[in-house]
């Protein structure tokens, strides 16, 4: 791959950066404090093609590559990691329908998802099935031309505000082969939501339980055929892991940029902090870590674009490396700011709180190490 962007690629990223700086960054702290979910601003992002980044163009998508997507999500996260992360989740839902849906499903659901007139949520995790996703117990029982869904999903981003839910439910035997993906509309009878979770970060994004109490949907809402839900979920997570890593990278870059401004303006013992060798070494190491993480992320995104044999391993490895690197860079930025870094108005502590969950979701980083290890052992 080349690291030199084309004129068109630069133009796209400049536009995204400008949007993040104007529409996300000035409001990010306030949204976090008031737990405001800015749907109107998300729809502005969708009007620029960010509601369906790698969905085909015939249903309103932008038709871009995964390597384009990680660059876009990094720039979005420079303004607000939590809003960029929700856009990533919404895009995962749209991609699943675009990739595995019938032509009728694609044209029914995707145009409104692309504009974000309808918001999407992805429902895999359950109260008793986190990392062991194949152990999920939500059931979908066939009754004539309908499926009846019963169960509870946990930690669902956008729940209660979304209009489309891709739900992983058990339709057959225990284990992965018995899981089916089902599209559930947000206004379905029997669908309800728990209280908005009180979280460490991602406060601008609602997170609730999704409760399915005899929810009936047409069998036509099965996505990708019976028994293929686990495969769909795992394939969706490959891209989701890259996107969430990109959100960590964007947050880290913003924290570094803020740090460079701070150490240039702040003086101690008669000289700007930026003139001290220890400070110079610290910011240099932050930049080195960001560059290494970005290169790794682009490498994994290209592997996903090319359907490379090692794509799953690379997506897991990049997610582990980039999310932990990003968090450490932001933690260092907070330390450089001293007591001011601990204050809300400087924005660093908010980025730190937002990025912490990236090491947990889309597969914990412990699970990412397992994925990499299994790939290594299998190919040895």
Tell me the mean pLDDT in the region 278-291. Answer: 98
Judged against a pLDDT cut of 90, whether residue 2 lies above it is answered with no
Q: Answer yes or no: do 22 and 83 share one domain.
A: yes
Tell me the mean pLDDT in the region 228-253. Answer: 97
Last residue of a domain, one of 199, 226, 253: 226
Q: Strand 120-123 to strand 164-170: parallel, antiparallel, or no bridges (unpaired)?
A: parallel
Model pLDDT for residues 308-357, shown as the tens digit of each residue: 999 999 999 999 999 999 999 999 999 999 999 999 999 999 999 999 99
pLDDT attached to residue 379 = 85
Q: What's the domain count of the chain?
A: 3
Helix (H, G, I), strand (E, B) or coil at 258: helix
pLDDT attached to residue 3 = 85
Tell me the mean pLDDT in the region 248-274. Answer: 96
Q: Answer yes or no: do 328 and 244 share one domain.
A: yes
Distances (CA, A) of 307 to 87, 152, 239, 347, 375: 23, 34, 12, 38, 16
* 90, part of any domain: yes
Judged against a pLDDT cut of 90, whether residue 283 lies above it is answered with yes
* 2, part of any domain: no
Q: Answer yes or no: do 235 and 188 share one domain.
A: no
Model pLDDT for residues 125-183, shown as the tens digit of each residue: 999 888 888 999 999 999 999 999 999 999 999 999 999 999 999 999 999 999 999 99
Question: How far is the first Cα of the chain from the last one, in angstroms, to the nearest whole number?
Answer: 26
The verdict on whether 362 is a catalytic residue reads yes
pLDDT attached to residue 146 = 98
Looking at the DSSP assignment, which residues form a beta bridge with residue 210? 153, 193
This prediction's pTM: 0.96
* 133, part of any domain: yes
Last residue of a domain, one of 119, 136, 161: 119
Alpha-carbon distance 253 to 332, whole Å? Answer: 12
Helix (H, G, I), strand (E, B) or coil at 237: helix
- Looking up tokens 């910011």, which residue turns up? 283
The average confidence (pLDDT) of the chain is 97
pLDDT attached to residue 106 = 98
* 1, part of any domain: no
* 247, part of any domain: yes
pLDDT attached to residue 131 = 87
Which residues lie below 8 Å from residue 11, measured CB to CB, with a gap of 6+? none
Q: Answer yes or no: do 240 and 211 share one domain.
A: no
Q: What's the sign of the alpha-carbon dihedral 109, 111, 113, 118? A: negative
Model pLDDT for residues 183-215, shown as the tens digit of each residue: 999 999 999 999 999 999 999 999 999 999 999
Last residue of a domain, one of 181, 202, 226: 226
Q: 352 — phi, psi (to 5°)?
A: -60, -45
Structure tokens at 155: 């930690």
* 101, part of any domain: yes
Least confident of 83-97, 103-117, 129-143: 129-143
Judged against a pLDDT cut of 90, whether residue 1 lies above it is answered with no
Q: Answer yes or no: do 183 and 83 share one domain.
A: no
Tell me the mean pLDDT in the region 269-283. Answer: 95
Judged against a pLDDT cut of 80, whether residue 262 lies above it is answered with yes
H or E element at residue 341: none
* 277, part of any domain: yes
Buried b (16+ CB within 10 A) or exposed e, 230-257: bbbbebbbbbbbbbbbbbbbbbbbbbbe
Note the Cα 80 to chain centre separation in Å: 12
Q: Answer yes or no: do 131 and 102 share one domain.
A: no
Range of the domain at 350: 230-378
Q: Answer yes or no: do 212 and 318 share one domain.
A: no
Model pLDDT for residues 34-74, shown as the tens digit of each residue: 999 999 999 999 999 999 999 999 999 999 999 999 999 99
Q: Answer yes or no: do 259 and 202 share one domain.
A: no
pLDDT attached to residue 224 = 97
Judged against a pLDDT cut of 90, whether residue 240 lies above it is answered with yes
Q: Which CATH number belongs to the domain containing residue 350 in this structure?
A: 1.20.140.10
pLDDT attached to residue 171 = 97
Closest to 133 in 3D by CA, of 175, 98, 185, 92: 175
Angle at 112 between CA 236 and CA 23, to 5 degrees: 85
Q: Answer yes or no: do 346 and 373 share one domain.
A: yes
* 315, part of any domain: yes
Beta-carbon neighbour count of residue 269 at 10 Å?
6
Q: What are the contacts of 72-75 at 24+ separation with CB within 8 A?
A: 72/12, 72/13, 72/16, 72/246, 73/243, 73/246, 73/247, 73/250, 74/246, 74/247, 74/249, 74/250, 74/253, 74/294, 75/13, 75/16, 75/17, 75/20, 75/250
Tell me the mean pLDDT in the region 80-88. Answer: 98
pLDDT attached to residue 239 = 97
Q: Answer yes or no: do 260 and 346 share one domain.
A: yes
Q: Answer yes or no: do 25 and 67 share one domain.
A: yes
* In contact, 355 and 326? CB cutoff 8 Å: yes
Q: What confidence tier does 216 reach under pLDDT thresholds 50, 70, 90?
A: very high
pLDDT attached to residue 130 = 84
Q: Answer yes or no: do 364 and 236 share one domain.
A: yes
pLDDT attached to residue 61 = 98
Question: What 8-state DSSP symbol labels residue 172?
Answer: S
């Amino acid at each position: 791959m080349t690291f030199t962007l084309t004129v068109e690629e630069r133009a796209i990223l400049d536009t995204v950066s400008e949007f993040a700086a104007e529409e996300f960054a000035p409001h990010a702290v306030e949204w976090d404090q008031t737990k405001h979910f800015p749907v109107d601003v998300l729809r502005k992002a969708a009007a620029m093609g960010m509601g369906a980044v790698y969905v085909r163009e015939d249903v309103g998508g932008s038709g871009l590559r995964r390597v384009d997507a990680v660059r876009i999500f990094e720039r979005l996260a420079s303004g607000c990691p939590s809003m960029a992360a929700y856009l990533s989740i919404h895009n995962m839902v749209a991609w699943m329908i675009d990739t595995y849906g019938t032509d009728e499903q694609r044209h029914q659901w995707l145009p409104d998802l692309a504009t974000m007139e309808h918001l999407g949520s992805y429902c895999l995790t359950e109260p008793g099935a986190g990392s062991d996703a194949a152990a999920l117990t939500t059931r979908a029982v066939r009754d004539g031309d309908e499926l009846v869904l019963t169960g509870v999903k946990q930690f669902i981003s956008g729940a209660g505000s979304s209009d489309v839910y891709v739900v992983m439910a058990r339709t057959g035997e225990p284990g992965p082969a018995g899981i089916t993906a089902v599209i559930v509309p947000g206004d379905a009878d029997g669908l309800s939501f728990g209280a908005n979770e009180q979280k460490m970060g991602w406060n601008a994004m609602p997170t609730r339980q999704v409760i399915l109490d005899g929810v009936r949907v047409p069998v036509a809402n099965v996505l990708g055929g019976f028994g293929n839900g686990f495969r769909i979920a795992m394939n969706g997570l490959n891209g989701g892991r890259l996107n969430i890593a990109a959100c960590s990278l964007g947050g880290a870059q913003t924290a570094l940029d803020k740090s460079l401004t701070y150490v240039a303006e702040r003086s101690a013992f008669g000289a700007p902090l930026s003139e001290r060798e220890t400070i110079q070494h610290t910011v240099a190491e932050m930049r080195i870590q960001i560059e290494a993480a970005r290169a790794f992320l682009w490498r994994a995104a290209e592997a996903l674009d090319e359907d490379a044999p090692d794509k799953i391993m690379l997506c897991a490895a990049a997610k582990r490396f980039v999310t932990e690197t990003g968090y450490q860079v932001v933690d260092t930025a907070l330390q450089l700011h001293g007591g001011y870094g601990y204050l809300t108005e400087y924005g660093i502590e908010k980025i730190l709180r937002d990025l912490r969950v990236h090491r947990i979701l889309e597969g914990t980083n412990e699970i990412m190490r397992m994925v990499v290890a299994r790939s290594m052992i299998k190919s040895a």
